Amino acid sequence: MPPSGGRQAASLPRGQADAARAILVGVDFGRSNKSVGRFDPTLDELALLAESAGDTPVARVIARRQAPDAALFVGSGKANEIKLLVQAHQAHTVLFDQAISPAQQRNLERVLGVPVADRTALILEIFAARAQSHEGKLQVELARLQYLATRLVRRWSHLERQSGGIGMRGGPGEAQIELDRRMIDDRIKTIKDKLKKVQRQRSTQQRARSRNGVFRVSLVGYTNAGKSTLFNALVKARTYAADQLFATLDTTTRSLYLEQAGASVSLSDTVGFIRDLPHKLVEAFRATLQEAADADLLLHVVDAASPVLDEQMLEVERVLEEIGAADIPQILVYNKQDLLEEDQRPREPMDWLERPGNGGVGGVRVPRVFVSSLDGRGLDLLREQIVLAMQRAPSDLNPFANDPRGLKIQDSPPVEGVDFESEEIPGAVSPVEAADLPKTQA
Burial letters for 308-320: b for 16+ Cβ neighbours within 10 Å, e otherwise?
bbebbbbbbbbbb
405 inside domain? no
Choose the final residue of a domain: 86, 110, 126: 126
List, for the chain, all residue ranges whose pLDDT scores fall below the cut of 50. 1-6, 8-17, 154-170, 173, 404-442
29 inside domain? yes
Residue 431 has a pLDDT of 38
Residue 149 has a pLDDT of 83
Integer Cα distance of 106 and 74 in angstroms: 13
Residues 141 and 257 in one domain: no
Residues 91 and 156 in one domain: no
361 inside domain? yes
418 inside domain? no
204 inside domain? no
Integer Cα distance of 328 and 291 in angstroms: 12
| DSSP one-letter code for 5 | T
Q: Bridge-partner residues for 268, per DSSP?
A: 218, 253
Choose the final residue of a domain: 88, 106, 126: 126
Residue 404 has a pLDDT of 44
Which domain CATH number covers 266?
3.40.50.300
Residue 261 has a pLDDT of 87
Residue 41 has a pLDDT of 84
Residues 365 and 335 in one domain: yes
Residue 137 has a pLDDT of 87
Dihedrals φ, ψ of 325, to 5°? -115, 15
Contact 95, 122 (CB under 8 A): yes
354 inside domain? yes
Residue 326: C-alpha distances to residues 137, 203, 249 (Å): 27, 20, 21
Contact 129, 15 (CB under 8 A): no
Residues 153 and 50 in one domain: no
Residues 224 and 275 in one domain: yes
Q: What is the pLDDT of residues 200-241, one digit of tens each?
A: 887 787 677 666 778 999 999 998 899 999 999 999 866 656
Residues 388 and 274 in one domain: yes
Residues 122 and 142 in one domain: no
Residue 409 has a pLDDT of 46
Contact 138, 194 (CB under 8 A): yes
Q: Which of 86, 64, 87 is nearest to 75 (CA)?
A: 64
Residues 67 and 140 in one domain: no
First and final C-alpha spacing in the chain: 39
Q: Bridge-partner residues for 368, per DSSP?
A: 332, 351
438 inside domain? no
| Domain housing 55 | 7-11+18-126
If phi > 0 it is left, if psi is from -120 to 50 it is alpha, else beta; for residue 264 that is: beta
208 inside domain? no
Integer Cα distance of 47 and 281 in angstroms: 20
Integer Cα distance of 298 and 321 in angstroms: 13
Q: What is the pLDDT of residues 45-73, one digit of tens each?
A: 999 999 989 999 999 999 999 999 999 99
Residues 188 and 326 in one domain: no
Residues 84 and 146 in one domain: no
Residues 170 and 92 in one domain: no
CB atoms within 10 A of CB 274: 23
- Counting residues of the chain whose pLDDT is more than 90, the rounded percentage is 45
Contact 61, 82 (CB under 8 A): yes
Residues 355 and 377 in one domain: yes
pTM of the predicted model, to two decimals? 0.76
Domain count, the chain: 3
Integer Cα distance of 21 and 38 in angstroms: 24
Which domain CATH number covers 67?
3.40.50.11060
Choose the final residue of a domain: 126, 146, 161: 126
Burial letters for 177-202: b for 16+ Cβ neighbours within 10 Å, e otherwise?
beeeeeeeeeebeebeebbeebeeeb
